[in-house]
Structure 1
Amino acid sequence: MAEIELKFQVPVHQRRAFEKAIAKKKAVPMQLWAKYYDSPEQQLAQHAIALRQRLEGQRWCQTLKAPGQHHFERFELELALGPDEPEQLDLSLYQEHKQAQTLLKQALELKKADLKNTGLELQFETDVQRLIVLEQVKDSAIELAFDQGEVRTPTAQSDIYEVEFELKHGDVSDLIDFVQPWVKRYQLWLDVRSKSQRGQMLKNQQNILPVQHQTPFSLDKHDSSSHALAKIVSNCLTHLLPNATAIADNHYQSGHVHQARVAIRRLRSALKIFGHWSEQVQPEWQAQLAELFRQLGSTRDRDALSESLMPRLAEAGSPLAELPASSESSDEIDALFRAPETVRLLLELLQFSQCTAQEDDQSLKKQVRKQLAKMHRQICQDAVQFEHLDSEQKHRTRKRVKRLRYSVEFIASLFEADAVKQYLKALKPAQESLGQFNDLVVAEALFQHEVQQNPQAWFVLGWIAAEQKHVLAEAQQHLLEFTRSKTFWSD
């Protein structure tokens, strides 16, 4: 009842070659016509649940899909309906399926024991010509499904051209190993949008995916450290991939870029702090993520400064109302997430998130305590000498504070909630003031280049210098206050 698949878009310039490759595989064609249902309030969509009736060749089936444990895994329950088109949607089919009942009742807020009279309505349809190729990889069976068609409402339509790789049975590692050559040869890029999500966006006249923020998750004190790290990486990917899809599709906002950077920073922090928990962590991941972060950086830095710094400069009477023109190319960040090397990295991280747990000599909590104590001690040492640190060392302190925050969030479920909350509350002022100082450093560099062409930039540089002194004093005070905070991980 679990569906495990990876979906990709095919670049326009690769489509002819891709179609020739599929033709050589002697793919089996199948016509798919699907009708998707939801309540008038779209309650199922709000819970990422899809409910459809679909004609597959000569037979109808009814399928319920819901989120699974991982981003590429979904709960799926498919029921055969026969050759005749159903007159209506029948939820009574789920009376014998407890998990399906629970999902529907929670999403639709049903109080009665039955699933009748739910008022579900047709939302949109998909009409797809599918070509199917079955492959055997080691002991795993993998289905390649190449779809062309459209999703439509009574007033709009959108084209579908995508390929799905589904693990019918076997090992996820075999699935990802099988996909990698296709990615390299045809420059396929990951797309986490389901057809139901695309249809819902079409119905609601939306062309941009919602910005994805980080979501809570839990570790178990009985988890091995390697399994805990796999869970952490999986959570970071759940944060990253929807934003990466929006950027790769070139339909994104500044929030997608910001959250993509946050997700990458969380991944880097997890691998730097806890990477020694697993022998399967690849040393090159850290450098690859750092480069991806850097390439996203200049765009996000400018967005952040435009939103936060420029209004304050205007209040101070600045003669300059805009940031200096960028000397770097700000376009094509969408190409970053379509690049085969980025897709390969994401697939490797997905593969790692499914890795087999290794046994430990020490408990998870004991290993966590040791790591947190080390990080806390480093920041306290920086705090007492902060005013004497050079610029690079101050920047290192800021990164240490951020890594500590992310690390605490990763392992919070292992400890008493209120104690963790108080610790993060004590850390927050230091993180914010150090972040403000970093923004000022970035802005200073921008306007130092501008002053040669525009003497009015001297006003801005003077204001920045004064503000830096003020913010640095605040940061030092906040760091010293943090050194007096109570830790939550003591035995």
Structure 2
Amino acid sequence: MSHEIELKLALPHRALPALRRHPLVSAAQKLGNAVTLDNTYFDTPALQLKARKVALRIRRQGRRQLQTVKCAAVSSGGLSQRPEWEQDYTGAFDFGAIDQPEAAQLLARHHDALVPVFTTRFRRETRVYSPREDLRILMMIDTGEVSLHTPDGVERSAPICELELELEAGQPLDLIELAETLASDLPLMPADLSKAERGYRLFLGTPSTAVRAEPSAIDATQNAVDAFRTLAFSCVRQWQANAAGALEHTDPDSIAADFIHQLRVSQRRLRALLKLFAPALPATFVADWSVRLRENANRFGDARDLDVFHAELFAPVAPEGLADEASFSALASTVRRAREEARAHACHNLDMATQGRLLLGLTADLHRLTIDSLIQAADLRTFARLRLDRLRKRTRRLAAAAETLEPTRLHALRIGFKQLRYAVEFFAPLFPARAVRRYLEAVVVVQDTLGFLQDVDAAQQRLAAWVAADARLAPAAAFVLGWHAARYARLRRRALRESTPLLSGRKPW
């Protein structure tokens, strides 16, 4: 068994000439001529290997055939490490060399049911990057496609255009630093999906969907920096998956709003995480990434805000027979144009090169974090309790200030609850699960209440700006706000009442 450590980077086909001309690529030693690799992936008809995250392929290169088995890898920022078994294929599967019991038993049990599922065919150019004796990285440029032909005659395919960096000697950080250098000049995006995973998606016909935040996977044996790194890599995976998903929908009229929303969620969670763990982290690291993540989220804010305005405040209004029809029609046109413009702006800002540089930069900085003896000795549960207590006290002060029911102070309270919620979610594995779950459920109720109030306040400002530009919209704008006025008044009074037990009562940590 060997352990494959690689970093996969997607790039647009038009960027291939620039990649080949890059000084680090053009100066690297060629490993022979480019070769065409034909791969057939096998599984049972019920995809039982996929269910256990095992991939089996036969690769044909010239006259030689190789059997490869790979197991699941945790991938983040495109960097993955996975066990791999490779041997010559002589016409029949041989799993005798697989020394991981679960994988060996799985393959042996389903040996006779294995059938071809999909194929990949790509041209591979390989170079060796070795600037010093203890560092050797294979640079492999792959271009081709994943394809399949179903029994009912349906053909599907998806393009392959990527740069794989495979570590033969050195440290994982060396891969990331090489990728960082290349990405400073090229549109390279870390890609966590393997060719096998892309093939299975094609086989199943499953469209990519927005990726929500992963549950916290920290444990009490970790120090604060390692816990932070675990949580940050989780956020990076959410960011990367949603950036990639949004890039698949480049038409402003069809871009999936949920991808943009979840991308922004990943930025908010990362910023909250930086504040939460700030005492254990370098101040410059916290300050730098707080700014960069806020600026990145702001690239997409208007599109999401207008989607919320339309879905939550405009679409539910039923104007028939009551509203000024001409005014309401004009407002509907204004809303539609504003959403189209905001989505076009989001598409323009969703740049592969920018997202790739940010993802690689943060991934590299996470790997570079060091742990001093004080942090190493600190108890993670104690650290968590101190940080959660501090956040709860801060939110309690915000609640006291919000008793005036002023919109800006209610909005500040909403942000306070959001940060408290993220913190409880991050530290959840350290405390009793049932108590944490109940507390979070109550926090979400308050956050939703405050969220509606903020949406109405933001809508009032947006509608006022539109009316100032076009007086015809005034009757319809007043109708929309009036439609929500009773609920708004009721929830303003409820918000502080719901907050009190969460900020002064029993806590789950």
Question: Any gaps of 5 or more consecutive residues in structure 2?
Answer: 150-154
Query: 1:244 aligns to what?
Result: 243
**CA distance in 2: counterparts of 1:369 and 1:134, whole angstroms:** 49
Query: 1:153 aligns to what?
Result: 148
Please list the CA deviations of residues 196-246 of structure 1 after superposition, one character each: whole Å capped at 9, or x if unmatched.
Answer: 22222333345x423212222322222111111111101111222111111
2:122 aligned to which of 105, 125, 128: 128
Residue 46 of structure 1 and its aligned partner are, at CA, apart by 4.7
Alignment of 1:433-444 (within 5 A): 433-444=449-460
Q: 1:45 to 1:255 in 2, by over 3 A?
A: farther
Query: 2:382 aligns to what?
Result: 366
1:258 aligned to which of 235, 258, 261: 261
Query: 1:214 aligns to what?
Result: 213
Q: Is the 8 A contact 1:176 1:351 kept in 2?
A: yes
Structure 2 residue identity aligned to 1:331:
A
Instruction: Find out whether 1:382 has 2:382 as its counterpart.
Output: no
Alignment of 1:331-342 (within 5 A): 331=344, 333-342=346-355
Instruction: Find out whether 1:53 has 2:66 as its counterpart.
Output: no
1:290 aligned to which of 288, 294, 297: 294
Q: 1:308 to 1:101 in 2, by over 3 A?
A: farther
Q: 1:461 to 1:210 in 2, by over 3 A?
A: closer
Q: Is the 8 A contact 2:139 2:165 kept in 1?
A: yes
Structure 1 residue identity aligned to 2:260:
V
Q: 1:353 to 1:315 in 2, by over 3 A?
A: farther
Query: 1:458 aligns to what?
Result: 478
Q: 1:253 to 1:324 in 2, by over 3 A?
A: closer
Alignment of 1:418-433 (within 5 A): 418-433=434-449
Structure 2 residue identity aligned to 1:260:
L
SS at match of 2:158: strand
Structure 2 residue identity aligned to 1:130:
R
Residue 250 of structure 1 and its aligned partner are, at CA, apart by 2.9
Moved more, 321-330 or 148-157: 321-330
TM (normalized to structure 2)? Answer: 0.85
Query: 1:186 aligns to what?
Result: 186
Residue 305 of structure 1 and its aligned partner are, at CA, apart by 2.9
Query: 1:19 aligns to what?
Result: 20
Q: Is the 8 A contact 1:447 1:460 kept in 2?
A: no
Instruction: Find out whether 1:346 has 2:365 as its counterpart.
Output: no
Q: Is the 8 A contact 1:35 1:125 kept in 2?
A: yes
Residue 134 of structure 1 and its aligned partner are, at CA, apart by 1.4
Q: 1:395 to 1:220 in 2, by over 3 A?
A: same
TM (normalized to structure 1)? Answer: 0.88
Please list the CA deviations of residues 384-437 of structure 1 after superposition, one character each: whole Å capped at 9, or x if unmatched.
Answer: 342326433322211111111111111111111122122212322211101111
Q: Is the 8 A contact 1:448 1:461 kept in 2?
A: no
Query: 2:152 aligns to what?
Result: none
Query: 2:35 aligns to what?
Result: 30
Residue 248 of structure 1 and its aligned partner are, at CA, apart by 2.5
Please list the CA deviations of residues 246-268 of structure 1 after superposition, one character each: whole Å capped at 9, or x if unmatched.
Answer: 11233652221222121111111
Q: 1:274 to 1:243 in 2, by over 3 A?
A: same
Structure 1 residue identity aligned to 2:498:
H
**CA distance in 2: counterparts of 1:42 and 1:445, whole angstroms:** 53
Instruction: Find out whether 1:306 has 2:300 as its counterpart.
Output: no
Query: 1:468 aligns to what?
Result: 488
SS at match of 2:351: coil
Question: Any gaps of 5 or more consecutive residues in structure 1?
Answer: 106-113
Moved more, 360-369 or 13-22: 13-22
Residue 35 of structure 1 and its aligned partner are, at CA, apart by 0.5
Moved more, 10-19 or 218-227: 10-19
Query: 1:75 aligns to what?
Result: 82
Residue 132 of structure 1 and its aligned partner are, at CA, apart by 0.9
Q: Is the 8 A contact 2:138 2:166 kept in 1?
A: yes
Whichever structure has more helix as a proportion of its residues is 2
Structure 2 residue identity aligned to 1:151:
V
Q: 1:146 to 1:12 in 2, by over 3 A?
A: closer
Please list the CA deviations of residues 109-165 of structure 1 after superposition, one character each: whole Å capped at 9, or x if unmatched.
Answer: xxxxx4245623211111111111111255332211101122211223333221112
Moved more, 188-197 or 353-362: 353-362
Query: 1:40 aligns to what?
Result: 45
**CA distance in 2: counterparts of 1:94 and 1:413, whole angstroms:** 38
Query: 2:135 aligns to what?
Result: 140
**Identical-residue share of aligned pairs (%):** 26
SS at match of 2:36: strand
Q: 1:187 to 1:324 in 2, by over 3 A?
A: closer
SS at match of 1:405: helix
Moved more, 296-305 or 42-51: 42-51
SS at match of 1:313: coil
Residue 277 of structure 1 and its aligned partner are, at CA, apart by 1.4
Q: 1:137 to 1:236 in 2, by over 3 A?
A: farther
Alignment of 1:163-182 (within 5 A): 163-182=163-182
Please list the CA deviations of residues 53-111 of structure 1 after superposition, one character each: whole Å capped at 9, or x if unmatched.
Answer: 212455322223333344222423122024x4x35x45x43664225237x47xxxxxx
**CA distance in 1: counterparts of 2:256 and 2:115, whole angstroms:** 31
Q: Is the 8 A contact 1:95 1:101 kept in 2?
A: yes
Q: Is the 8 A contact 1:337 1:343 kept in 2?
A: no
Q: 1:380 to 1:118 in 2, by over 3 A?
A: farther
Moved more, 183-192 or 268-277: 183-192
